[in-house]
Amino acid sequence: MMQPELLIDKVYETICNYELIDPGDRIICAVSGGPDSVCMVYMLMSLSSKIDVDLIIAHINYHTRGSDSDLEEELCKKIAGDLDLPIHVRSVSRDELAEMKSGNFQREARKYRLSFFEELRREQQADRVALGHTADDVAETVLMHILRGSGIDGLSGIHPRSDFFIRPLIECRKHDLIGHLDSRKLEYRIDKSNLESEYLRNKIRNQLIPDIEKNYNSNFIPALCKTAAISRDLQNFLAGSVEAIEPGIVSRSRLGKYLIELDCFLEQSSAIRHELIRRIFKSLTGQERNGRSLDFDQVRNTDSLARSSVGKRVDLANGIMAERGESVIIIFNTNARSPLPQSVELPGRNNLREFSLDISGELVDYDKEFVRPDDNWSAMIDADVVSAPFEVRTPVEGDRIRLLNSPGSRKLSNIFIDKKIPRALRPEIPLLVANGKIVWVIGVGISHDVRLTKETSRVLKLHVRTRVEKDDGN
C-alpha cells in the first residue's frame, strides 16, 4: 500500500501534469459514498490551501438499493458537515427511475448524472466537476473496448480531463485509496452491486483482471494504463492533424449537413480520413464528450464511399447517414427537423435564420436593357403576375414547377435528379412561394410563368445570400 503522504503527492502531481485545476477554481466533487469519491474529496480538501480551490459536494440518490442508497446519502451529508463544505443532493423520483429502467439503465443513469453535474456547475458558477475515476477504472474501460473491438480512441480509456470534468485520482490504484481511508479510519460505503457480475464491467473487474494478474502479469493494470496514456498521446496528435486540414476539406450545407470534398479527402492518409469521419459523427450526434463512436466497419464503409458510385449510402448509427455525391461525401442526421415555412415581405429584406439565408426584393420599373442574373441566387420576376403572401419553404412530396423555357411542368424530384443534386441535399433546397405557387427554386431557377416578357412593366429583383462557410471544426 502506498504511504498516505506519497498518495497525496501523487494526486497533486496528476493535477499539475494534466493542468486539471487553476488557482481560485470552484470545484464540484461528485461523491457517491464509495471509497474512490470519498477519498477524492478528502484528498482535494487536504490540497485545497496548496492549490487554492473551493469545494462543493454533489450526490445523487437513485433509490435503487433500498436503505443502502439512503445510508450513502447520509454519509455524504456527514462528510460535508465534517469538512464544513456545502452539499447538493439530487433525489431521483420514481418516474425518473422508471424511465431510466425502461432502457439501458447504466447508460441512462450516466446521462442523468452528467446532466445534473452540468446543471449544478452552471447554477453554482463552478469551474470544474471532479470525478473519482482511478487507474483501475481506466484498465477496465480499455479492456471493455478491446473485447468489443477498438481503435486508438478506445485504447485511450478514460481521459484525465474532458471539458469541465476532471479526474484527479486517474493515476491512483483503488487498493491504495481504500488503504488510505482505512488507515485514517474514514468511513465509506461499498456498493454490493459492484461485487456481482451482471454487467460486463463487473465481470472484467471481478473475474478477468484477477485471473490475468494471477496467471499472466501481476502488474497488468499499470501496464494497461501505460498503453492508455500512449494511445491518448497518439489520439491527441491525430486529432490535431485533423483539425489542421479540416477547414480545407469540410464545409457545411445551409442546414448543417457535412460535405467532404472528395479530391482533398482522397489525398489524406487512411488514419486522417477515418478520424475525420469519427469526428463528424460525434459532432452530429452531440457526443463529442465521451460519446459513442463508430466501429471499424462503419468507418471503413463510409471511407469506401469515396470510391463508390454516386448515390450510394451507408447507414451509420443514431440516425446518421453518409451519402456519395458527385464530388462530395455528405454526412447528415436523418432525424434533423426541416425548417417550418417562413413568411417573407417582398419587396423588403428578410433574415431567415432557420434557413441560414437572407432574401431581399426590390421593386423597379422594367428596363429592356436589364442584364439577366448570371447565377441562380439572383432572379428577376414579373411583379404583376405574382401576389402575396410570400413564403419560403422546403420541398414536399408532389411539388411541381415549369422552369424557365422548359417545355412543361415537372416534378421537383425529377428536376433535382437531372441537376445532379445529391439526394441528401434535396430536402433543404429553399422554395419561394407566392400565394401558394412556387415561383423560384432558389439556387436552381425561376418558374416560366413569372418570366419577364414584352408586357412586363414592373420587376421584382430578388437576391439571396446564404450563410454557409467552411467548417472551422467547432
What pLDDT is stored for residue 471 in this prediction? Answer: 46
> Is residue 429 located within the same domain as residue 396?
yes
Q: Tell me which residue has cell 450526490.
A: 59
56 & 194 share domain: yes
Query: Does the pLDDT value for residue 105 go beyond 60?
Result: yes
User: What are the tens digits of pLDDT across the range 143-168?
Assistant: 999 998 878 888 999 999 998 999 99
- 360 within a domain of the structure (yes/no): yes
Residue 13, Cβ neighbours under 10 Å: how many? 11
Of 298, 333, 368, the domain-final residue: 333
Among the listed residues 285, 40, 73, the one whose alpha carbon sits nearest the alpha carbon of residue 167: 40
In a domain, 248, yes or no: no
Whether the CB-CB separation of 380 and 370 falls below 8 Å is answered with: yes
pLDDT (average), residues 253-263:
94
Is there a domain that residue 474 lies in? no
**Angle (CA) 276 138 187, round 5°:** 140
311: domain range? Answer: 253-333
Instruction: Spell out the alpha helix ranges (H) of 1-102.
Output: 4-17, 35-51, 67-83, 94-101
Q: 58 with 29: CB under 8 angstroms?
A: yes
Please give the average per-residue pLDDT across 12-41, as a whole number: 96
Whether residue 140 sits in one domain with residue 98: yes
pLDDT for 177-221, tens place per residue?
A: 999 999 999 999 998 777 777 788 899 999 999 999 999 999 999
- Which triple of cell numbers denotes residue 70? 439512503
Q: Amino acid identity of 206?
A: N
Q: Is the pLDDT of residue 292 over 80?
A: no
pLDDT tens-digit profile of 419-454? 999 999 999 999 999 999 999 999 999 999 999 998
Rounded Cα distance, 358 and 342, in Å = 12
CATH assignment of the domain containing 455:
3.50.40.10
Mean pLDDT of 11-35: 96
**441 assigned to some structural domain:** yes
Residue 140 has pLDDT above 70, yes or no: yes
Residue 216 and residue 111 in one domain: yes
Decide: 129 and 161 in contact? Cβ < 8 Å. Answer: no
pLDDT of residue 469: 47
Maximum distance among all Cα pairs of the chain, rounded to whole angstroms: 97
Q: Could you give the CA distance from residue 260 to residue 257 in angstroms, rounded to a whole number?
A: 10
473 belongs to a structural domain: no
Residue 243 lies in a domain: no
Looking at the structure, tell me whether residues 128 and 217 fall in a common domain: yes
Whether residue 68 is found in the same domain as residue 165: yes
pLDDT band at 296 (very low <50, low <70, confident <90, very high): confident
Q: Are residues 49 and 198 in the same domain?
A: yes
Split into its structural domains, the chain has a count of 3
